[in-house]
Amino acid sequence: MKKCILVLIGVLACQILPVWAVKMSGLYQVALPIASQSDGLLVEAVRQGFIQVLTRVSGDLSIASNAVIAPTLGHVMDYVQEYRYTPSGDTRAAAFILHVRYDAPFINQLLNKAGVDYWKESRPLILVWLAVTNADNVTDMVSEDVHPDILKAMQTQGERSGLPLIFPMMDSADMDLVSADTIVNRNVVTLKEAGKRYAPEAMLIGHIKAGAPFETGQWQLVVNATQSDFETEGTTISQLTGAALNQVTQKLSKHVTAKSADVPERWLTLAVESIVEKSDLAALVQYLKQLSLVRKVQLLSVTGTRVEMDVLVNGSPAMFQQAAEAGLHLELISEDEENETLMYDWVH
């Protein structure tokens, strides 16, 4: 079988070791408020949690209507590994919190049967730049000190969606480059420059307008050179941010989902230039291993600043290329289809 040679050209632009992806634990677990420990409420809560987990893993907001998935909603307890109750601490909302752990292999098997792509635990780190305009038309940047309730809502919804979110510290380094207008006007170049210190793989830029009866939000998701614009609304900040992160999950998962259908494996040979330090090689190997398509990474040789390695992938070179470019660290320069060679910039 002919091998595909991928040549990666390194660009040493930052001293921070990049965080290639965040491994999200608990994707197959939920914690839901529940009024009592009755069997009827238990089954209904488990059903809602089951849909939440399927959505989180697949990135498909309409997963519950899938022809294969829909019939399973009638016997969701079959997919439960364990569950337990704890006191809620706030009896005004619910008496208990129901903690459910679902059977991950069984759920993945179900997704395979349904022909649905699924998103593994390694997920791109998303830097969130967020501004809020209040009813008096005053616009501020969201931070731990300004609009902390909105920050908390985003963090909660991020955990619910299985998205690793990071927010800028808004210290002098950030404030020297970014203002509320920078976010509202979506100055992507400036925000990317300011965000380099956080080593994200994607950026979410948001502008929330507070008002009654609806809160509205304008958003832009930036992945490499791709920019996706969308709007959300809700009667509460939680609804608004939840709708936004549902959109992010759906859009971002298309870049990194693993094909659940049977896809032939093949070896690709990578030639990587400008691997100057041992930490560069470690970062490269870490990055490759977290890609959902990659099964094995074998180092072949190290010559000066050039490294060659074989990578076993579950899919085609095009699928590998799409997965490899999901972050902000690999930027495609050119493609030689005849020789099956891809040229990248390796951005630290």
Chain segment 27-85, per-residue pLDDT in tens? 999 999 999 999 999 999 999 999 999 999 888 888 999 999 999 999 999 999 999 99
Q: How confident is the model at residue 270 (pLDDT cuts 50, 70, 90)?
A: confident
Of the chain, the percentage scoring pLDDT greater than 70 comes to 83
Residue 294 has pLDDT above 50, yes or no: yes
In the chain, count H helices and then E strands.
Answer: 9, 17
Q: How confident is the model at residue 278 (pLDDT cuts 50, 70, 90)?
A: confident
Q: How confident is the model at residue 114 (pLDDT cuts 50, 70, 90)?
A: confident
Q: Choose between 2 and 316: higher pLDDT.
A: 316
Q: Looking at mean pLDDT, say which of 15-19, 271-275, 278-282 comes out highest.
A: 278-282
pTM (two decimals): 0.65
Which pLDDT does position 330 carry in this prediction? 64
Residue 179 has pLDDT above 60, yes or no: yes
Q: How confident is the model at residue 219 (pLDDT cuts 50, 70, 90)?
A: very high
Q: Choose between 218 and 250: higher pLDDT.
A: 218
Q: How confident is the model at residue 345 (pLDDT cuts 50, 70, 90)?
A: low
Residue 262 has pLDDT above 70, yes or no: no
Give the list of residues 6+ apart from residue 42 with CB closer than 8 angstroms, or none.
34, 83, 98
Which pLDDT does position 263 carry in this prediction? 59
Q: How confident is the model at residue 20 (pLDDT cuts 50, 70, 90)?
A: very low
Residue 238 has pLDDT above 70, yes or no: yes
Which pLDDT does position 16 carry in this prediction? 34
Q: How confident is the model at residue 290 (pLDDT cuts 50, 70, 90)?
A: confident
Which pLDDT does position 336 carry in this prediction? 65
Which pLDDT does position 288 carry in this prediction? 76
Burial readout 28-37 (b: 16 or more C-beta within 10 A, e: otherwise): bbbebebeee
State the CB neighbour count (10 A cutoff) for residue 278: 8
Which pLDDT does position 340 carry in this prediction? 62
Q: Mean pLDDT over all residues of the chain? A: 83
Which pLDDT does position 11 carry in this prediction? 36
Mean pLDDT computed over 239-247: 91
Instruction: Give the CATH superfamily of 122-254.
Output: Ribosome hibernation promotion factor-like (3.30.160.100)
Burial class (CB in 10 A: 0-12, 13-18, 19+), 73: middle
Question: According to CATH, where is 3.30.160.100 located in the chain?
Answer: 122-254
Of the chain, the percentage scoring pLDDT greater than 90 comes to 43
Q: Choose between 325 and 218: higher pLDDT.
A: 218
